Amino acid sequence: MGRAVRLAACALNQWALDFEGNAGRILKSIEIAKGKGARYRLGPELEICGYGCSDHYYESDTLLHSFQVLAKLLESPVTQDIICDVGMPVMHKNVRYNCRVIFLNKKILLIRPKISLANAGNYRELRWFTPWSKARHVEEYFLPRIIQEVTGQDTVPFGDAVLATKDTCLGTEICEELWAPNSPHIEMGLDGVEIFTNSSGSHHVLRKAHTRVDLVNSATAKNGGIYILSNQKGCDGDRLYYDGCAMISMNGETIAQGSQFSLDDVEVLVATLDLEDVRSYRAEISSRNLAASKVNPYPRIKVNFALSCSDDVAVPVCMPIQWRHHSPEEEICLGPACWLWDYLRRSKQAGFLLPLSGGIDSSATACIVYSMCHQVCLAVKNGNAEVLADTRKIVHDETYVPEDPREFCKRIFTTCYMASENSSQDTCNRAKLLAEQIGSYHINLNIDAAVKAIVGIFSMVTGRTPCFSVYGGSSRENLALQNVQARVRMVLSYLFAQLTLWTRGMPGGLLVLGSANVDESLRGYLTKYDCSSADINPIGGISKTDLKNFIQYCIENFQLTALRSIMAAPPTAELEPLVDGQVSQTDEADMGMTYAELSIYGKLRKIAKAGPYSMFCKLINMWKEICTPREVASKVKHFFRMYSVNRHKMTTLTPSYHAENYSPDDNRFDLRPFLYNTSWSWQFRCIDKQTSPEVAWVLVLLLCQPMKKTRNG
């Protein structure tokens, strides 16, 4: 009959510019797909070179090595008798395009350039590529000699076309094109394309997966069809974690779901689907059929190959499933843990060092490392040979097998409590107990001698000795003395990271982990070049509210009872003197705002794109039950003053796992000045006009009145 097609979608942990490793993972995925009976294999976006090459795309070497890998793929017997769809950059007429190269049996069928480029948030594709703007147009592409020698072809089709096999028709989308309002699958579906493919480079953001799933399912709900999505996974060299989630959908329902977080470098999702289900689904949608009769046709590349077998009556087809989404707490537990694993093994370091303060943030970071150890032990137990090999390299033991997360944690994770005269015994005990429960190698040390030495040098040179404010010092003295403590901790962190394993008779060095959350960074509530300055930070894109929920998740799922007292304690920097042996300093009092307020400010500033005046206008409605307009004005002004005064700190922010769309990361995501006019005179004057006595009472009346219904509703 020729109606059951078997298709494969892949999630690959590619690494920017790792052409050797990338080629191996591509070949392995094709081999697995063929072994499972697939006749078509789809891989992630730009999988040959790795998505995150950034300005390396400008280099001719990147294009050259991509074609060298393509030649290797074409020559391999593994790629025979299966349509292979791979991603790489291609230069056509001196213009660089983000392309899919589709080939079969040593012949390139089509090079399809990306039409809609991703250029928002973390994406900068327009910096390196040009979108293909010639709809339904195909040109001749002259192949380089290394490809000609393999394929025997001088030119191949290049442009916006679809593939017509002996039994169906396939059309290509690339990542952003699914998200565009005029997605190509709409017109392609009307023109008879039955299978849509999408190769993605989509990164993890908390609570985002359902959006991608809904888009894929809705792509075929109105128009019918089969949709296959492949995505990159893992850390390919920067702040992003690409979260897999390969999927196959048909007629608006999910048929197959890949994992979002795993340590498997290669994951292949295969499903068998009945083409007649697509045709019968479409047949009864009269509006679709009327539109289809008027559509402009796509150029069709004829392929003498079938995705189905002639005798497939007895072949079972896959049935719809319910997509299983992770909770935000599970996402925090798994995503940053996988990112840390990729960073650790690819940096060839021997583990991590974390300044563990006994507070929520550093404890959350410790729990993520512990989760990583769990994932490693589970992967090895499930037979993942690559994870086992990487583990042995990290611990420098060719016979080692990680079985117990606590034992593995002891080998690769060092925690360090750095006490001062301003530290309480409570936080010391909390840090020690948590370290015992996760199994880390724990160090207790005191920094007072180093702090006194530094302040002593200052006093010897100037003849003046600064004091804390509780002892009569000014606010400048008070802040400077806090900063000295914080910066000493950063210096000691790196010293112990370099030499702790040496003292234990073990080889290698440790990566220093930071633990400033996204809200503190936004407010600038951190010392520049203190313990927030580290090699990487797994929680730098996560809010305090989400971290608290994650801590509760760890209490329940990892049985880390030490976290209960950490959760109950008020957040504090412990940089000012104790009062009667108790902590007198708290974060929220220091900041002049709560963490809950900070999350709201951050989302309005970045996601809602609100300046001071717009934020004020939104908050007087949001907070009308708890604040007067004058109080809202005061809060907004204070936030923007503190944000702008401290924005310069974002230029040295530790590279952090990107998890929130209101991240203040200055490197690529949140591009802003770092020298502001912190008076915001014009903006604040606009707010003041709305809170003047003659206007304020009108605002109060309007906010207190219920909305009147109009005649129509």
* Catalytic annotation present for 606: no
Q: 404: how many CB neighbours lie within 10 A of its CB?
A: 11
Is 660 noted as a catalytic residue in this protein?
no
Is the Cα torsion angle 195, 76, 25, 34 positive or negative in sign? positive
Q: Which of 84, 175, 338, 373 is catalytic?
A: 175
Q: Mapping DSSP to helix (H, G, I), strand (E, B) and coil, where does residue 302 land? A: strand
Tell me the C-alpha distance between 93 and 141, whole Å. 9
- 247-250 and 253-257 as β-strands: parallel, antiparallel, unpaired? antiparallel
Q: Are 143 and 155 in contact (CB under 8 A)?
A: yes
Contacts of 392 (CB under 8 A, 6+ apart): 398, 399, 400
- Annotated catalytic residue, options 34, 72, 114, 635: 114
Residues 6+ apart with CB under 8 A from 711: none
Q: DSSP code of 263?
A: S
Q: Which residues sit opposite 41 in a β-bridge?
A: 8, 84
From the CB of residue 46, how many other CB atoms can be counted at a distance below 10 Å? Answer: 31
* Closest to 320 (Cα-Cα) out of 424, 250, 267, 367: 250
Give the distance from CA 125 to its chain's centroid. 17
Are 265 and 235 a contacting pair, CB within 8 Å? no
Q: Pseudo-torsion of CA 377, 378, 380, 383, nearest 10°?
A: 170
Q: Say whether 296 sits in a helix, a strand or coil.
A: coil
Per-residue burial over 458-480, b if 16 or more Cβ lie within 10 Å, else e, is eeeeeeeebebeeeebeeebbbe
User: Which residue do the tokens 């080629």 mark?
Assistant: 23
Terminal CA-to-CA distance of the chain, rounded, Å? 55
* Nearest alpha carbon to residue 39 among 88, 5, 2: 5
Catalytic (active site) residue 114: yes
- To the query of whether residue 166 is one of the catalytic residues in this protein, the response is no
Q: Are 174 and 295 in contact (CB under 8 A)?
A: no
Instruction: Locate 124 and state its tokens.
Output: 């900068």
β-bridge partners, 141: 156
Catalytic residue among 66, 230, 262, 357: 357
Q: What's the CA gap between 291 and 122, in Å, rounded?
A: 37
Residues known to be catalytic: 45, 114, 175, 357
